[in-house]
Structure 1
Amino acid sequence: MSAREAAGDAPTPPGAAPIATAEAADAEVPVPSPAEDGRPSAGTVVTGTRLPRPIRDVPATTVVIPRAEIERSPTLTQDALVRTLPSAATFRRTPSLVADPTAQGLNLRGLAPSGVARSLVLLDGIPVNDPFGGWVFWRSLPRLGLDRIEVVPSGGSALYGSAALGGVVQLVSRPVTGPTLDAAVTYGNLDTGLLAARAAERFGPVRASLETELLTSDGYPIVVASQRGAIDTATPSNHAVLNGRVDADVSESLTLSARAGLFRENQNGGTRATTARVDLAHFAAGARLSTEARGTFTLDLFGRVQRFEQGRARVAQDRSSEARAAFQDVPADDQGLSLAWTSPSATWGGTHVLSAGLDARRMAGTSDERLFPPEPMPGSTLVRAAGGTQLSGGLYLQDLYTVSPALELSAALRLDVWRNLNGEQRVERASGAVETTAFEDRTEEQLSPRLGLRLRPVDWLTVRASGYRAFRAPTLNELYRPFQVGTVLTAANADLRAERLWGAEAGVEAESPLGLTARVTGFWNVLDDPITNVTLEDGTRQRQNLGRARVRGVETSVDWRLSRRWTALLAYTFVNPTVTRAPGQPELVGKQLAQDPRHRGTAILTFDDPAIVTATVQLRVTGPQYEDDLNERGMGGYAVVDVSASRRLFWKVDGFAAVENLFDREYLAGRAGIDTLGPPLLARVGLRLRGLP
């Protein structure tokens, strides 16, 4: 197996039927049947089309991180794993091990990074983006239960709506089979320990699984040594996850499922008064009905209740002392449903597979903030509460038209409507005065088309192209909640409009009989009214619709299976993210988008021989970038090396070791008032129990 599968290079699993190729030029190409538990069979992906498809045939560029690579990755957290894809990044360079979720928004292909995610993150089709801020709680997604990660780094609103402006990342769970037990325990420097376990069992037509993950770490001092003061310490954190799932085959055609989970995370940002905490409970239920004559119907219901708490500090200039500056309590909840239909294959001048569906979601939350001014004046703000509700819904229709095994066309169209209502801000002054501002209810709508093409003139060459329109509605967080990082205060803006994107991509993929697969994809995006943090004259910032940004670039990668034991991957992404229009802020025109490096690359070399050892060496390179929109706070590029190795010790027990940042490379992660550092060397060793019995 190659180091990283991508659309077109997954091998056929042993015992599975081969994927149809251009050799059967006149043959009809059916959609593969789902697996026994209602999930796609091996060798398929679901994210690019919301249907199980052979990954060679998906018109959209799709990258897959398979389970084998997930297991041998040197990375500890899920966000660090996803960032090994050069086209994927979180807002700042710090991992979720030391940064709370407000700095963990995911962006793909450099599409205007910020704390909020501009890409949708799914777990088995269910959105996991935070309902209030669009953040991603990466540590709530245990690695032991994952089968693969699928990444579609282009506008996905035509199928998924608002949150998919920049693409979709889907984490796909392992199928529930049993009886089986997997477990892992690790310990490393920085007092970092992890315990994970997953058990699954089958009781006739009923299948059940239970998984847990516990992680604790002392973290590291994140402030650079030259600015560090008496108050600066390490960044301890811990989290706990418990997830359960039950699937039941009611009949040969009907499958029911239910799942629920709990998550708690505690973090310290490096000083006594800089803290964050998350409590989250989520649930989901689904049904899948397959009929030969009328197609397949799928219904998913989901929801969550959560609370995010964050404490901020007021720090002396020499960082010798601190005082509590503010405490925010952000309770939020959401509920949603998704109903989808897939038609049987129909032959009209080729093979058509139609799909249609609707999604609806309600999101509500409030930011309750208590401030502690050092010398309160009558006009000083002591309490600030702001929040509201957002309702959204969308309808989509898609046609996958296989003209022949050599040519497939796709067309999708979606209409979304969303409404912000009950928005309100309440401010209490030290004098006792209370000011309440009710924000006007607002409704917007968006029509999102997407056209795609997949051409395979010969079996070893695939051409893909697509054009799309996408959007992202502002989150409740952006509309109502102010925040502060370091000494920089950023205000909310209840008048924000949706971001809108026009884009296109085109690429080629070539496979060699020598085990070499090469891919090149060019992309071009124009983002209108991007929501960015704009620096004001008084030095503070405010969220504003900036004007227009152009994000264009190229992705390249080479997978090479050098031999049965050796595989190599080289991947590089170049992005040119430029502000092209900024009404009221002309000095921003021509500037590079903040937190957006132009160059990112990854090189991975793996040796895999179970009788000897499985070892991976990974090089990650990131180019220079800017902290701010004015391009005044630069951060240099860096390169780090990660390694991992594992070997069977006895029975079903493996021993393994991993090191991130092997050479302890020091680099900047942020410059928001103070300069902060990326992770130092993190080494750990452990044991892994595989699939007992």
Structure 2
Amino acid sequence: MAASFPLPVLAAEAAPNPDPQQIVVTGKGLEAPPALPAYGTQIVDRDRLQVAASGRIEDALSAVAGFQQFRRSDSRASNPSAQGVTLRSLGGNATSRALVLLDGVPMADPFFGYIPLSALAPERLASARVTRGGGSGAFSSGAVAGTIELTSADADELGLLNASALVDDRGETELSGTLAPKLGQGFAVVSGRWDRGKGFWTTPAEQRGPASVRARYDSWSAGLRGVAALTADIELQARVAAFEDNRTLRFKGADTGMSGQDASLRLVGRGRWQFDALAYLQSRDFHNTVISATTFLPTVDQRATPSTGAGAKIEVRPPVGTAHVLRLGVDWRSAEGRTIEDTYRFGVISGHRRAGGVNSTVGFYAEDDWTIGPVVLTAGARADRWSQRRGMFQATNLAGVATSDLRYPALSGWAGSFRGGALVHATTRLDLRAAAYSNLRQPTLNELYRSFTLFPITTQANPALTNERLVGFEGGFDWRPLPGLTLSATAFDNEVRHAIANVTIDATTRQRQNVDKVQSKGVEGSASLALGTVNLTGSVSYTDASVRAPGQRYDGLRPSQTPKWAASATAAWRPSDRWALALTLRHIGLQYEDDLQTAALPAATTLDAFAQVPLTGPFILVLRGENLTDETVVTRNSGGTMDIGTPRTLWAGIRVNLR
């Protein structure tokens, strides 16, 4: 399901409070500006988020055409560093090219750029707003493929107590709960989730050896969020959270994991001078043990990757008349981190490696939406000051003597970007839209300074990488021919210049390099039909993506990990808040593991199911089915060594919902 919200819904969201003295606590940011639909925005609502059969945020978001991770694995059976999120087939490596925000805070890991998906539980969210291509105002220096804005659910949406306990047919468990009491002129939310299990076989049966094991996982997350009214139109929001996720992938001893602690403070003013001020701090870590596929002995132990992310923004919307919504803002982001690794020879520790640095950006932006009768025009610009400093790589032997000690020069500069568009309410049933935009993304610390091996391929870092730059345009329509029916389509042409890709050097070596550009052209469509208590929704994307690099072997080929076709369709019946039945059919087309298109990941189609049936009192029976047809989904194909995704998995459990 990828339902496009018609304009009347967005207009209702933006309507001012009719009684300025009434205190309304929302726990959300400022309302969406009126021209936002010009950028083809789609919203995944709370109902759709909660019927994902896996209970994972990545599956819920795959309802939006063009959403993808670097690999097809979900967050129970993939290396966290591969959890990059992108849109419109603008992938290329494991770093996120889409900006993912939770209540305005960027979620990407400061060192790697991956998204900690297991820490983003769908049951805690009110909605996900996906803007493909156009980026956003604040923090948009990382949004070359678009923006995914996650909004936490408030006390009314959650209820006083919402808890669930489920078990699957392999004996794996999922425990989740929220407690959301209303406190004076505000509310608090205490939340927690714990997932654990022996996992499934990611290694095909014919490739298993004595050291092969299931993809065991054990993860938890917890958070405390408070929202309070300071005055009738000023609201304070505070959040602290912690998470940890440990997994074993493919071989015994190949343990990997991530952890983090986040804190943020947000002040939202909805008076005559509207403002949104935000500050956040993140502490993250990652560990990974690499096991040889031939000797089954450790080759590298990345025992720690401590990193710190910090940022702030302030956006002001001056009162410039009812025809205009003017946004003026400044934002700052900093990422500092290093990798601490031990190298091995024949299973015995042989040396140590350290690599890392500091990246930062300061951005200034201005944007205005101008309503002229049935037409809404929008234009905005950003100026970003970026810097890379303290970059280093050091290798030492067991005696502590440096065998390599590199210090890289500091780099900095200014970059400008823009976006603009038009939304035309041609009739009461038809909206036309068009937009053009540009943006940039800094290389991550991981891309610049850290090499890694995924047998039999070693991917080298590259401290000479330059910033990526997006340039694109699109046009489309939202048509409501009948009550309850919405049809949307968008044609687009996006290109990422100086795109960072894993480029093949030889049979066992790749290196992160800037290629001339990755161009992605295509069409996205979505449809939704509401028939009383039944909703039918679907989305499809066709993308013709290619790498442009004259003289190179990969010139004209499709970027790695990018399908031409992706589609999703959901049929849901929800007669009440306590009843729900849903079926989701999902298809992803042929992809290639590498830039030379030598290792194919075949197309795959899966069927999921979700059922929620009320029992007595506050108790509800929950049934979920993943990949009911037991489709074999190849998630990695490296030198003939394959990984496969989630097999047929059946869940059953109880949910308690007290209002």
TM-score scaled by length of structure 1: 0.90
SS in 1 for 2:155: coil
* C-alpha contact 2:63 2:539 (8 A) present in aligned 1: no
Residue 151 (structure 2) aligns with: 172
Amino acid at match of 1:681: R
Q: Partners of 1:440 and 1:634 in 2: how far apart?
A: 39
- Is 1:407 the equivalent of 2:382? no
SS in 2 for 1:197: strand
Q: Do the aligned partners of residues 62 and 133 (structure 1) sit closer, same or farther apart at CA in structure 2, a change above 3 Å counting? A: same
Residue 598 (structure 1) aligns with: 564
SS in 1 for 2:58: helix
Measured against aligned partners, the alpha-carbon deviations of 1:632-654 in whole angstroms (never above 9, x if no partner) come to 11121011111111111122221
* C-alpha contact 1:66 1:148 (8 A) present in aligned 2: yes
Q: Partners of 1:214 and 1:300 in 2: how far apart?
A: 29
Shift of residue 513 of structure 1? 2.3
Q: Which of 309, 312, 327 is 2:301 aligned to?
A: 327
Residue 175 (structure 2) aligns with: 195
Amino acid at match of 1:536: I
Q: Do the aligned partners of residues 654 and 334 (structure 1) sit closer, same or farther apart at CA in structure 2, a change above 3 Å counting? A: same
Shift of residue 672 of structure 1? 2.2
Amino acid at match of 2:382: R
Which runs of structure 2 are paired with 1:385-404 in the superposition (5 Å)? 385-404=354-373
Residue 521 (structure 2) aligns with: 552
Q: Do the aligned partners of residues 425 and 470 (structure 1) sit closer, same or farther apart at CA in structure 2, a change above 3 Å counting? A: same
* C-alpha contact 1:87 1:109 (8 A) present in aligned 2: yes
Q: Do the aligned partners of residues 214 and 198 (structure 1) sit closer, same or farther apart at CA in structure 2, a change above 3 Å counting? A: same
Q: Do the aligned partners of residues 31 and 345 (structure 1) sit closer, same or farther apart at CA in structure 2, a change above 3 Å counting? A: farther
Q: Partners of 1:38 and 1:612 in 2: how far apart?
A: 24
- Is 1:232 the equivalent of 2:215? no
Shift of residue 5 of structure 1? 3.0
Measured against aligned partners, the alpha-carbon deviations of 1:325-366 in whole angstroms (never above 9, x if no partner) come to 11112110111111110122515xxx0111111111121000
Residue 78 (structure 2) aligns with: 99
Amino acid at match of 1:308: F
Which runs of structure 2 are paired with 1:84-233 in the superposition (5 Å)? 84-156=63-135, 159-177=138-156, 180-233=160-213
- Residue-pair matches, total: 652
Using the TM superposition, name which of 152-161 and 111-120 deviates more. 152-161
Shift of residue 31 of structure 1? 6.3
Q: Do the aligned partners of residues 229 and 242 (structure 1) sit closer, same or farther apart at CA in structure 2, a change above 3 Å counting? A: same
- Is 1:657 the equivalent of 2:637? no
Residue 346 (structure 2) aligns with: 374
SS in 2 for 1:346: coil
Q: Partners of 2:577 and 2:508 in 1: how far apart?
A: 61
Q: Which of 597, 605, 611 is 1:631 aligned to?
A: 597
Q: Partners of 1:612 and 1:183 in 2: how far apart?
A: 14
* C-alpha contact 1:277 1:308 (8 A) present in aligned 2: yes
Amino acid at match of 2:508: G
SS in 2 for 1:643: strand
Q: Do the aligned partners of residues 640 and 303 (structure 1) sit closer, same or farther apart at CA in structure 2, a change above 3 Å counting? A: same
RMSD over aligned Cα, in angstroms? 2.3
Q: Partners of 1:191 and 1:385 in 2: how far apart?
A: 40
Residue 680 (structure 1) aligns with: 647
**Percentage identity across paired residues of the two chains:** 25
* C-alpha contact 1:83 1:90 (8 A) present in aligned 2: no
Q: Partners of 1:85 and 1:399 in 2: how far apart?
A: 27
Residue 248 (structure 2) aligns with: 268
Measured against aligned partners, the alpha-carbon deviations of 1:557-591 in whole angstroms (never above 9, x if no partner) come to 12122x21322122110011111225xx5211111
Q: Partners of 2:5 and 2:455 in 1: how far apart?
A: 42
Which runs of structure 2 are paired with 1:213-362 in the superposition (5 Å)? 213-292=193-272, 295-316=273-294, 321-328=295-302, 329-346=304-321, 351-362=323-334
Residue 418 (structure 2) aligns with: 449
Shift of residue 100 of structure 1? 2.3
Residue 36 (structure 1) aligns with: 24
* C-alpha contact 2:358 2:389 (8 A) present in aligned 1: yes
SS in 1 for 2:115: coil
Unaligned runs of 5+ in 2: none
Amino acid at match of 1:5: A
Amino acid at match of 1:675: M
Q: Partners of 2:459 and 2:190 in 1: how far apart?
A: 41
Q: Partners of 2:408 and 2:147 in 1: how far apart?
A: 31
Measured against aligned partners, the alpha-carbon deviations of 1:465-523 in whole angstroms (never above 9, x if no partner) come to 10000111100110111112232110111110001111011001110224221111001
- Is 1:481 the equivalent of 2:450? yes
Q: Do the aligned partners of residues 611 and 429 (structure 1) sit closer, same or farther apart at CA in structure 2, a change above 3 Å counting? A: closer
Q: Partners of 1:345 and 1:653 in 2: how far apart?
A: 51
Q: Do the aligned partners of residues 283 and 210 (structure 1) sit closer, same or farther apart at CA in structure 2, a change above 3 Å counting? A: same
Q: Which of 490, 504, 525 is 1:521 aligned to?
A: 490
Q: Partners of 1:509 and 1:290 in 2: how far apart?
A: 29
Q: Partners of 2:415 and 2:453 in 1: how far apart?
A: 32
Q: Partners of 1:589 and 1:32 in 2: how far apart?
A: 55
Unaligned runs of 5+ in 1: 13-17, 21-28, 41-45
SS in 2 for 1:478: helix
Shift of residue 251 of structure 1? 1.8
SS in 2 for 1:81: helix
Which runs of structure 2 are paired with 1:485-634 in the superposition (5 Å)? 485-537=454-506, 539-561=508-530, 563-582=531-550, 586-610=552-576, 613-634=579-600
Q: Partners of 1:226 and 1:420 in 2: how far apart?
A: 46
Amino acid at match of 2:327: S
Q: Partners of 2:621 and 2:271 in 1: how far apart?
A: 47
Measured against aligned partners, the alpha-carbon deviations of 1:228-263 in whole angstroms (never above 9, x if no partner) come to 212111011011111001222222233222210110
Shift of residue 189 of structure 1? 2.0
Amino acid at match of 1:428: T
Using the TM superposition, name which of 446-455 and 254-263 deviates more. 254-263
TM-score scaled by length of structure 2: 0.95
SS in 1 for 2:409: coil
Shift of residue 75 of structure 1? 2.8
SS in 1 for 2:53: coil
* C-alpha contact 1:31 1:52 (8 A) present in aligned 2: no
Shift of residue 610 of structure 1? 3.7
Q: Partners of 2:286 and 2:376 in 1: how far apart?
A: 45
Shift of residue 206 of structure 1? 4.2
* C-alpha contact 2:297 2:347 (8 A) present in aligned 1: no
Measured against aligned partners, the alpha-carbon deviations of 1:167-211 in whole angstroms (never above 9, x if no partner) come to 001110012359711111111123221111111122223421111
Amino acid at match of 1:7: F
Shift of residue 59 of structure 1? 1.9
* C-alpha contact 1:158 1:470 (8 A) present in aligned 2: no
- Is 1:364 the equivalent of 2:336? yes
Amino acid at match of 2:149: Q
Q: Do the aligned partners of residues 273 and 210 (structure 1) sit closer, same or farther apart at CA in structure 2, a change above 3 Å counting? A: same
Q: Partners of 2:194 and 2:515 in 1: how far apart?
A: 41
Amino acid at match of 1:155: G
Q: Partners of 1:676 and 1:201 in 2: how far apart?
A: 44
